[in-house]
């Protein structure tokens, strides 16, 4: 009888459940923020409460800790929390952004005080970074360290043999030692900058969130108000979105896992009626890559580069290739250097011209793999062809488009 009652209870309880349990729901990375506006002090007090559902590894590398950067937009003020090595970190750290600013006049005698107004155009931007652990020692690294150790032992043996040399040799050794001492001092200066560079390279962006400073969002009182007029947004838990998808214009860039680049195309104006000698210039401005692509190449220990080629009648006439760089989610390029030019010596010369843009990975062995590519030209569809047609129809006008690798 007891077993029958238990079965009956289980059956009835299961029938009463209208929706199945979804353990994956609400498991996206989130960050907790509280903002207090003090009209008396003319400040914004932003408290980073914590974060939850954070990834514990990136590819084959584990995450060591997490850091949050807080920025007031528009403005240059930004702060950073301490690092926490928990997947559900709790900071409860407060940062103060002044809304009253004092600026000097041109002559530097008088100062002008301005106050930032709280409205929907002002934002608080919170970006969460993961700091990766040091990569584990692999077999190739062990071989290199073993070689260095054997070299060190052989150098010690050679040093013992050279102790019985002549005085002239001693003088030459002393000169070498002096050069080594001064050389080491220069090396130490370089080594001091290496940890800072390594610290930046270990960071990976998990995501960011923006909180508009709309007065409608300040509807509650802070837990411990310093002034009676202080208002707060309360505890806000916002999802962390990828930076490449979190800014305006994402739909125009045709988000792709392989990455997107911002291309600038312009046809120079010509004094001739037949529109000849109006060169066509294509420049590369920025790269945005997905986290998935970055992690894939990071695990393969590959380096990336971008190549732009000018193709005339099926033949590559000239090209530009960037320096190799480590896997990243975003990168900027100098437009005056990252460009190719298609000449236009006579009318109709550009009809047989096209630009080929390749995103290439090269591993340690030297093997090249094309991550993605696309073509901008007269006989290409989609946004690639639209950019070409718009530049050709309006000489002298800069046409900027985000183009996705395919």
Question: What superfamily in CATH does domain 246-404 come from?
Answer: C2 domain (2.60.40.150)
**Residue in the block written with tokens 């979190």:** 246
DSSP string, 51-62: EES--SEETTEE
Per domain, the residue ranges of the chain are 30-134+204-241, 246-404
DSSP string, 219-284: -B--SS-SSTT-EE---EEEE-B-HHHHSTTTTTTT--TT-EEEEEEEE---SSTT-TT--EEEEE
Cα separation of 190 and 265, whole Å? 40
Cα separation of 16 and 325, whole Å? 57
Cα separation of 332 and 261, whole Å? 10
343: left (phi over 0), alpha (psi -120 to 50) or beta: beta
Length of the chain: 406
Say whether the peptide bond before residue 74 is cis (omega within 30 degrees of 0). yes
> For the chain, which ranges sit under pLDDT 70?
1-26, 58-60, 102-112, 134-201, 243-256, 271-277, 291, 299-301
- Tell me if 30-134+204-241 shares its fold with 246-404: yes
Domain 30-134+204-241 maps to which CATH number in 2.60.40.150, 3.40.50.720, 3.30.460.80, 1.10.10.10?
2.60.40.150
**Residue in the block written with tokens 């290739």:** 321
Predicted confidence at residue 254, as pLDDT, reads 43
Predicted confidence at residue 362, as pLDDT, reads 84
Predicted confidence at residue 24, as pLDDT, reads 36
Predicted TM-score (pTM) of the model is: 0.49
Start-to-end CA span in the chain (Å): 66
Q: What is the DSSP letter of 152?
A: H
Q: For 309-337, how does the pLDDT look when each residue is reduced to its tens digit (9 = 90+)?
A: 999 888 999 999 999 888 877 888 988 89
Predicted confidence at residue 256, as pLDDT, reads 64
Q: Is the distance from CB of 317 to CB of 310 less than 8 angstroms?
A: yes
Q: Is the distance from CB of 75 to CB of 133 less than 8 angstroms?
A: no
């Amino acid at each position: 009888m007891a077993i029958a009652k238990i079965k009956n209870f289980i059956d009835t309880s299961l029938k009463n459940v209208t929706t199945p349990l979804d353990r994956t729901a609400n498991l996206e990375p989130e960050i907790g923020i509280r903002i207090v506006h003090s009209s008396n002090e003319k400040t914004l007090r932003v408290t980073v409460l914590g974060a939850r559902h954070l990834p514990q590894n990136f590819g084959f590398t584990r995450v060591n800790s997490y850091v949050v950067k807080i920025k007031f937009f528009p403005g240059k003020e930004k702060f950073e929390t301490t690092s926490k090595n928990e997947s559900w970190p709790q900071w409860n750290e407060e940062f103060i952004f002044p809304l009253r600013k004092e600026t000097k006049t041109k002559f530097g005698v008088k100062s002008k005080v301005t106050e930032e107004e709280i409205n929907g155009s002002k934002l608080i931007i919170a970006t969460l970074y993961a700091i990766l652990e040091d990569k584990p020692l692999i077999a190739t690294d062990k071989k290199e360290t073993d070689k260095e150790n054997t070299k060190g032992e052989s150098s010690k043996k050679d040093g013992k043999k050279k102790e019985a040399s002549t005085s002239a040799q001693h003088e030459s050794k002393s000169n070498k030692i002096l050069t080594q001492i001064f050389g080491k001092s220069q090396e130490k200066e370089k080594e001091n900058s290496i940890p800072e560079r390594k610290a930046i390279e270990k960071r990976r962006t998990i995501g960011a969130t923006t909180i508009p400073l709309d007065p409608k969002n300040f509807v509650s009182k802070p837990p411990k108000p310093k002034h009676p007029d202080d208002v707060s947004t309360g505890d806000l838990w916002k999802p962390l979105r990828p930076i490449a998808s979190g800014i305006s214009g994402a739909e125009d860039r045709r988000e792709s896992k392989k990455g997107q680049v911002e291309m600038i195309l312009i046809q120079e104006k010509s004094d001739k009626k037949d529109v000849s000698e109006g060169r066509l210039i294509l420049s590369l401005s920025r790269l945005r890559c997905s986290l998935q692509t970055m992690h894939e190449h990071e695990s393969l220990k590959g380096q990336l580069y971008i190549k732009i080629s000018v193709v005339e009648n099926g033949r590559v006439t000239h090209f530009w290739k960037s320096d190799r760089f480590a896997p990243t989610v975003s990168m900027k390029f100098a437009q005056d250097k990252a460009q190719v030019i298609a000449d236009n010596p006579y009318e109709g010369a550009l009809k047989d011209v096209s630009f080929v843009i390749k995103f290439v990975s090269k591993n340690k062995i030297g093997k090249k793999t094309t991550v993605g590519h696309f073509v901008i030209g007269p006989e290409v569809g989609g946004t690639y062809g639209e950019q070409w047609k718009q530049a050709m129809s309006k000489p002298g006008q800069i046409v900027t488009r985000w183009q996705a690798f395919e």
